[in-house]
Amino acid sequence: MKDTDQPILHKDGVSYVLPFILVTCCFALWGFANDITNPMVKAFSKIFRMSVTDGALVQVAFYGGYFAMAFPAAMFIRKYSYKAGILLGLGLYAVGALLFFPAKMTGNYYPFLLAYFILTCGLSFLETSSNPYILSMGTEATATRRLNLAQSFNPMGSLLGMYVAMNFIQAKLNPMDTAERAQLNPMEFAIVRDADLSVLIAPYLTIGIVIFVMFLIIRFTKMPKNGDQSHGINFGPTLKRIFSIHHYREGVVAQFFYVGAQIMCWTFIIQYGTHLFMSQGMEEKAAEVLSQEYNIIAMVIFCISRFVCTFILRYLNPGKLLAILAIAGCCFTAGVIFFQDIWGMYCLVAVSACMSLMFPTIYGIALTGLGDDAKFGAAGLIMAILGGSVLPPLQASIIDMNTIWNMPAVNVSFILPFICFVVITIYGHALTSEGNIDMLHETIVKNETKKSVTTHIGSNRFFSLIFNNVK
């Protein structure tokens, strides 16, 4: 029987419909958290009268949580279960979101960073648990369609996060611009700050309550134990083994730079657009809201490009397509740097079309041939999300220079995403050599005979399986 003829949520007479729905909700929930956060760099900078560099500490805390908990999450899941990993992830997510209230009461910036860090420790557990858990909820032959279906809800959460950030935070903040805020005396500043923080924390408190309810529902729902049979942990030997594989090791490096590029482009589009539209006579608040609208358009293009690239992968080698899109990303980023009109913004939006393929393709190539080590291998790739913590502050420090080489510093700052795309181009090009393609194909075939979860259907269908595993 062909996999297309098989039910995707049934196995051996057991229905996984309800567990699937519950875990799929988690995909949307972490998408919401990821994309409500990017505009907060600008929001916090304004509220606390800080530099862009200080505001970018939001991303340091956010993606630092992913980095810190990646391998602990893999070890926890290996020792206990996927359900336990999801529950711990939801618990940390809820606690981090609800900590926004005491952070607001302090009137200080740094408690918010702690809240973000705890929140994303939860997201690390969620992402490390949910993807393989979905794979286990049915037959191996239908895992591709099952994961694609679950992942289709992730961008829905992302778009909702962007919408909430634009309409319930940015649009409701005090319209006073940065220059006016700088002239406030301490008492006036405190009043405006506290009012803006009340606006900012409301969506986080709401999502914290939603997460807590989801925690209780999953806690008291009987969930399958598929894939929970292995509980042994050989951390050191496993790490040594997987990092000796060059396409995995180089994949981790490429993923670091990709995530950095993605977060920089989606975070600083607000600063880029604000500078551009204010230079055309627009007020600061209106410029910020319009910039976020362009960010939403970029996300929509990102989602459309995902499906287009999935189709193209049927005919083109993944490494070659990765290299082509990375080159296109370099070209569009160059436009972002050198254009000082609306065409620069158009180029920045177009970059998202190039990025849609990158995370899952690098993810898939890196995990090829890892077999039973894939859980820890995936954790290493989650740790590579550290790029979203390290690189944005560097770009922010460039933006704070205001002018470089008689050009707006915000334009020049996009030299960093340009460099990231160069690294990805090199990685993709290296994978197009005949020897590497043959090697990867061989490892896929070998693991097919072993019924490996991560490489169970062949190269093109494998990339389809993981394609939606996007930040």
Q: 407 or 470: which carries more pLDDT confidence?
A: 407
SS3 450: coil
In the predicted model, is pLDDT for residue 469 greater than 50? Answer: no
Q: Which tens digits make up the pLDDT trace of 73-131?
A: 888 887 888 899 999 999 999 999 999 999 999 999 999 999 999 999 999 999 888 87
Question: Would you say residue 4 lies in a domain?
Answer: no
Q: What are the tokens at 88? A: 């711990």
Domain boundary among 227, 255, 278: 227
- SS3 sequence of 144-165: HHHHHHHHCCHHHHHHHHHHHH
Q: What are the tokens at 65? A: 């949580």
* Residue 173: pLDDT band with limits 50, 70, 90: very high
Q: How far apart are CA 454 and CA 456, in angstroms?
A: 6
Note whether 151 and 118 are same-domain residues: yes
Q: What are the tokens at 373? A: 């080590």
Note whether 368 and 270 are same-domain residues: yes
Q: How far apart are CA 124 and CA 86, in angstroms?
A: 10
Q: What's the predicted TM-score (pTM) here?
A: 0.78
Note whether 358 and 436 are same-domain residues: yes
Note whether 265 and 219 are same-domain residues: no
Note whether 254 and 217 are same-domain residues: no
Domain boundary among 227, 249, 271: 227
Q: Which CATH number covers residue 25?
A: 1.20.1250.20
- Where residue 43 falls (left for φ over 0; alpha for ψ -120 to 50; beta otherwise) is alpha
- Expressed as residue numbers, the domain containing 141 is 12-227
The pLDDT value given to residue 371: 62
Q: How far apart are CA 347 and CA 411, in angstroms?
A: 12
In the predicted model, is pLDDT for residue 310 greater than 90? Answer: no
In the predicted model, is pLDDT for residue 471 greater than 60? Answer: no
Note whether 245 and 264 are same-domain residues: yes
Q: How far apart are CA 274 and CA 290, in angstroms?
A: 8
Q: What are the tokens at 142? A: 């239908």
Domain boundary among 178, 201, 227: 227
Q: Which tens digits make up the pLDDT trace of 238-264?
A: 677 777 777 788 889 999 999 999 999
Q: Looking up tokens 């269908």, which residue turns up?
A: 461
The pLDDT value given to residue 203: 96
Question: Would you say residue 35 lies in a domain?
Answer: yes
User: Distance of CA 74 to CAs 115, 132, 373, 468, Å?
Assistant: 22, 11, 11, 20
What's the sign of the alpha-carbon dihedral 318, 364, 303, 44? negative
Question: Would you say residue 43 lies in a domain?
Answer: yes
* H/E run at residue 123: helix 110-136
Note whether 359 and 453 are same-domain residues: yes
Note whether 394 and 275 are same-domain residues: yes
The phi and psi torsions of 403 (rounded to 5 degrees) equal -135, 135
Q: Which tens digits make up the pLDDT trace of 428-446?
A: 888 776 445 445 544 433 4
Closest by CA to 83, choosing from 118, 119, 134, is: 134
Q: How far apart are CA 42 and CA 103, in angstroms?
A: 18
Question: Would you say residue 17 lies in a domain?
Answer: yes
- Are residues 464 and 144 in contact, defined by beta-carbon separation less than 8 angstroms? yes
Residues 6+ apart with CB under 8 A from 280: none
The pLDDT value given to residue 179: 85
By residue count, the chain amounts to 471
SS3 15: strand
Q: What is the DSSP string of 252-269?
A: HHHHHHHHHHHHHHHHTH
The phi and psi torsions of 217 (rounded to 5 degrees) equal -60, -50
The pLDDT value given to residue 333: 98
Give the angle subtended at the CA of 354 by the CAs of 352 and 358, to the nearest 5°.
Answer: 105
Task: Give the amino acid at 50.
Answer: M
Residues 6+ apart with CB under 8 A from 105: none
Average pLDDT, integer, range 358-372:
74
Question: Would you say residue 187 lies in a domain?
Answer: yes
Question: Would you say residue 6 lies in a domain?
Answer: no
The phi and psi torsions of 228 (rounded to 5 degrees) equal -100, 10
- Looking at the structure of the chain, the number of domains it has is 2
Question: Would you say residue 2 lies in a domain?
Answer: no
The phi and psi torsions of 404 (rounded to 5 degrees) equal -140, 125
SS3 348: helix
Average pLDDT, integer, range 215-225:
91
Question: Would you say residue 3 lies in a domain?
Answer: no
Q: Looking up tokens 């160069």, which residue turns up?
A: 422
Q: Is 47 exposed, middle or buried (0-12, 13-18, 19+ CB in 10 A)?
A: buried
Note whether 437 and 469 are same-domain residues: yes
- Using alpha carbons only, how large is the chain's radius of gyration in Å? 22
Note whether 219 and 281 are same-domain residues: no
Q: How far apart are CA 168 and CA 224, in angstroms?
A: 38
Note whether 140 and 267 are same-domain residues: no
User: Distance of CA 141 to CAs 23, 82, 187, 258, 470, Å?
Assistant: 20, 21, 64, 31, 22
Note whether 126 and 165 are same-domain residues: yes
